[in-house]
Structure 1
Amino acid sequence: MEDNATNPRQAEPKRHGPLSRFTVIDASRVRAGPTAVRLFADMGARVIKLEIPPGAPGGDDMIGGRDHNRADYENLHRNKESLTLNMKSPQGVAILHDLVRRADVFIENYRPDVKHRLGIGPDALREINPRLVYASISGFGQDGPYAGWPGFDSIAQGMGGLMSVTGKPGEGPMRVGIPIADLCAGHFCAMGILTALLEREASGQGQWVQTSLLEAQIAMLDFQAAQWLIDGKVPAQSGNEHPLTVPTGVFATRDGYLNIAAIGQTMWKRLCEALDVPHLVDEPGMGSDPERVCNRDQVNAAVAAALRGRTTAEWTERLLKAGVPCGPIHGIDQVFADAQVRHLGMAWPMRHAELGEVSLVGQPMRLSRYPREAPPRMAPEQGGDTDTILAELGYSAARIAELRAAFIV
């Protein structure tokens, strides 16, 4: 690294937010890692996203890239900076070391052996900066018989058991409509990083945080997994119905559909009264929770028949007044038009240089002393911050030009 008479930190923009004192180096790609990092970026941390330089071998054409889905890319990589860096070259690794000396977090989701082969594993980087929290997301774990397998969300959904309990009985396994293994692995990784940063305040040392798509997916099975681990019962598909409570599920109305969650005997009585069928409370096979589970088809048919006479809106108002949990089933457009969603501000407006006025998906948490007032910054163009970041590290314009010519940055 070259000398610089000024303190590079003085050149950095002033950042706001509860995590503004942290710098995160993001060497991840696709979805799980960027999901973890997005939390830090939205909460004010400086996030430097590492990308392969244009023209360098091994360019990224994976799903989630800028050209694959611009909306997805903007939503996933907002509030970040972009540095192009070829970490397969010794000069690129040297630049990474310069970054790591100043960083708090480094996150990657390579296959487990790749980081060690490149010389950027946790031991190597924490030798440079012992306070560094190094985070890894893999498909199946950092070791074990499947460690070398490539990890993708749908594969983790299948191997993690989710597809076996999703969908209607007898129709075969079903993937859920979002990349839930990717997303949950990212959220669990973020929690692990925050935990390690808290622990660092006491110990002064960083550590290696690990999670995987498979582990995250299994953790999200929750009560379904507990049924097997504790009771020895293998859960099966139950479609839109709840496997343990009846009636809980989707029912047709006169003009659409309604979700109802009549859990327990008290809710069952309230539902029957609101539906004007109070006799069902004591109907044979419906008088208790266990009976209704055993006779779910009979119970659901009776409830469905009662619901057909009114609209979804009418039933929603009526059931909520009776104290029965329920709600309409929205399309995505209806979600963001909903009065409560608009009140919560889950559509985060921003001004995009090319797309104009758009909105991104907001963070589902609120901090009283850090209200979300400023609009997010658009996702960076590839390498858009390279010159600025290298100058902060002390590299001259001439040296940066040389590194570009050699496809190092």
Structure 2
Amino acid sequence: MVGLLEGVRVLDLTTILAGPFAAYQLSLLGADVTKIELPVTGDLARELSSESATHIPMMGASFVAQNCGKRSITLNLKTEQAAEVFERLIRVSDVLLENMRPGVLARLGFPWERLHELNPELIYCAVSGFGQTGPFAGRPAYDQIIQGLAGMADVTGSPDGGPLRAGFPIADTLGGFAASMAICAALARRVVDRTGCFLDVSMLETALTAMGWAVSDHLIAGREVTRNGNSNATSAPSGTFQTGDGLLNIAANTQTQFETLCRLLDCAELIGDPRFVTRTDRKLHRAELTAELELRLAGRGAAEWEAVFAAASIPAGRVLTVDQALHQDQIRYRGLLHEVEVPAGGVRGGGHGAAVVLGSGVHVDTQALGPSSPPPLLGEHTDAILDTLGYSAEEIAELHSDGAV
């Protein structure tokens, strides 16, 4: 299968998660992604959970997960020689993606104006916590900071508890998705006008745009958003329920679904109960309705009820662990998981382990999208890339000895 972004050349000047995640999505779609890293240390993600996860130094779990399908070149952009290499890379690339703090790349000698001069067709995407402008632009940010400032943490948790962060870096991944989407849109426009553009992605803003009714209810209806635990504030019965052996999410959001649920649970009398006649009634008496339903749900296990409700077109699903989720037949059938070699020993072929990474949730012409190659060793492709840029063997050796690469 030919990748949708086959032939698109991406420079990935990002670290940790949001930026690498965006570049990984482009790689899964077929782009040729070159990751630029610092000599010696590389992307900090290489060190995150390395020993406990892959047991291979410089191959941390976070790095492996977001950097398959990429090539790696090391550049010390504070040196004139590396800056010249970077210029050559810019001239032959379609996309530059970075997630430094605003102004850092400009201070290294590469503001947008200079990049556009070097390559008028270049698409430059900068991902940052707060965007390139505004009073917060220069602040550092990590996922948890954004979750708090976006109000995400405040709407997460139980009504009688305090705010909670999501159990995974949702602000980082949302920022990465927004960046990859914007880049694809810019590539589509470039087909028409042959000009590049500057994309400014704010993690704070993308987090807010993803919060759905929690934000829209406040903006449009003027409602104060509250924490609802595992209940869906917009409907009832819709939330997490205790069964005979575990938790089950049920979303009987329509009148038909509610009535079908009651009949399946042998409590059809609840349909006409004045407390539960309409959606509004059910929301007002959510606790009483939950108690009535859980009394019946206790008679069977969560998996059995899940199958019963699915057969009746009532959305329902067990609350699984991550391990259980990854081992579902549906996930295996769709080909989301991909095994890759994790190289060790400083050179390809110097020993390796195996790791399983996620592909894309998108299928193209019925085919799952997975990584085209294992995660790169630090600087693994430096010499080969320099060769394609026209550097001689002697010049490459000099770049190494001078600490530029």
Q: Equivalent of 1:359, from 351, 356, 360?
A: 356
Specify the alignment match of 2:18 in structure 1.
32
Q: Is 1:396 paired with 2:392?
A: yes
CA contact (8 A) 1:151 1:213 kept: no
- Would the alpha carbon gap of residues 329 and 376 (structure 1) be closer, same or farther in structure 2, given more than 3 Å must change? farther
Question: Alignment partner of 1:146: what SS?
Answer: coil
What is the Cα deviation at residue 263 of structure 1? 0.1
Q: Equivalent of 1:237, from 216, 227, 230?
A: 227
Amino acid at match of 2:9: T
CA RMSD of aligned residues (A): 1.7
Specify the alignment match of 1:386 in structure 2.
382
CA contact (8 A) 2:123 2:197 kept: yes
In 1, the alpha carbon distance for the partners of 2:168 and 2:119 equals 37
Deviation string for 1:164-200 (max 9, x for gaps)?
Answer: 1111112101011110110010000011011111111
Specify the alignment match of 1:3 in structure 2.
none
Amino acid at match of 1:389: I
Specify the alignment match of 1:228 in structure 2.
218
Specify the alignment match of 2:53 in structure 1.
none
CA contact (8 A) 1:270 1:323 kept: no
Specify the alignment match of 1:210 in structure 2.
200
Give structure 2 stretches of 5+ with no counterpart. 51-59, 344-350
Deviation string for 1:261-294 (max 9, x for gaps)?
Answer: 0102111101111111111111121110011111
Q: Is 1:287 paired with 2:284?
A: no
Which range moved further: 238-247 or 308-317? Answer: 308-317
**1:1-400 mapped onto 2 (5 Å cutoff):** 16-54=2-40, 59=41, 62=44, 64-66=45-47, 68-69=49-50, 70-353=60-343, 354-368=351-365, 371-372=367-368, 376-400=372-396
Which range moved further: 315-324 or 216-225? Answer: 315-324
In 1, the alpha carbon distance for the partners of 2:46 and 2:63 equals 7
Residue identity (%): 35
CA contact (8 A) 1:350 1:376 kept: no
What is the Cα deviation at residue 362 of structure 1? 1.6
What is the Cα deviation at residue 372 of structure 1? 4.2
Deviation string for 1:296-337 (max 9, x for gaps)?
Answer: 111111111111111112211222222211111211221122
What is the Cα deviation at residue 154 of structure 1? 0.5
What is the Cα deviation at residue 16 of structure 1? 4.9
In 2, the alpha carbon distance for the partners of 1:205 and 1:262 equals 50
In 2, the alpha carbon distance for the partners of 1:234 and 1:138 equals 29
Amino acid at match of 2:376: P
In 1, the alpha carbon distance for the partners of 2:186 and 2:43 equals 32
Question: Alignment partner of 1:112: what SS?
Answer: coil
What is the Cα deviation at residue 37 of structure 1? 0.4
What is the Cα deviation at residue 115 of structure 1? 1.4
In 2, the alpha carbon distance for the partners of 1:194 and 1:338 equals 31
Which range moved further: 333-342 or 286-295? Answer: 333-342
| 4+ residue segments displaced more than 4 Å | 372-375
In 2, the alpha carbon distance for the partners of 1:376 and 1:133 equals 23
Give structure 1 stretches of 5+ with no counterpart. 1-14
- Would the alpha carbon gap of residues 375 and 30 (structure 1) be closer, same or farther in structure 2, given more than 3 Å must change? closer
Question: Alignment partner of 2:210: what SS?
Answer: helix
Specify the alignment match of 1:12 in structure 2.
none
Specify the alignment match of 2:57 in structure 1.
none
Question: Alignment partner of 1:65: what SS?
Answer: helix
In 2, the alpha carbon distance for the partners of 1:177 and 1:107 equals 27
Question: Alignment partner of 1:214: what SS?
Answer: helix
Q: TM-score, normalised by structure 1?
A: 0.92
In 2, the alpha carbon distance for the partners of 1:383 and 1:66 equals 15
In 2, the alpha carbon distance for the partners of 1:282 and 1:121 equals 67
In 1, the alpha carbon distance for the partners of 2:81 and 2:371 equals 36
In 1, the alpha carbon distance for the partners of 2:396 and 2:32 equals 22
In 2, the alpha carbon distance for the partners of 1:60 and 1:149 equals 23
What is the Cα deviation at residue 71 of structure 1? 2.3
In 1, the alpha carbon distance for the partners of 2:370 and 2:244 equals 43
CA contact (8 A) 1:253 1:308 kept: yes
In 1, the alpha carbon distance for the partners of 2:16 and 2:216 equals 31
CA contact (8 A) 2:12 2:97 kept: yes
What is the Cα deviation at residue 357 of structure 1? 4.0
- Would the alpha carbon gap of residues 259 and 173 (structure 1) be closer, same or farther in structure 2, given more than 3 Å must change? same
Question: Alignment partner of 2:299: what SS?
Answer: coil
Amino acid at match of 2:363: R
CA contact (8 A) 1:140 1:146 kept: yes
In 2, the alpha carbon distance for the partners of 1:399 and 1:229 equals 59
In 1, the alpha carbon distance for the partners of 2:397 and 2:334 equals 47
Q: TM-score, normalised by structure 2?
A: 0.92
CA contact (8 A) 1:348 1:376 kept: no
In 2, the alpha carbon distance for the partners of 1:255 and 1:376 equals 42
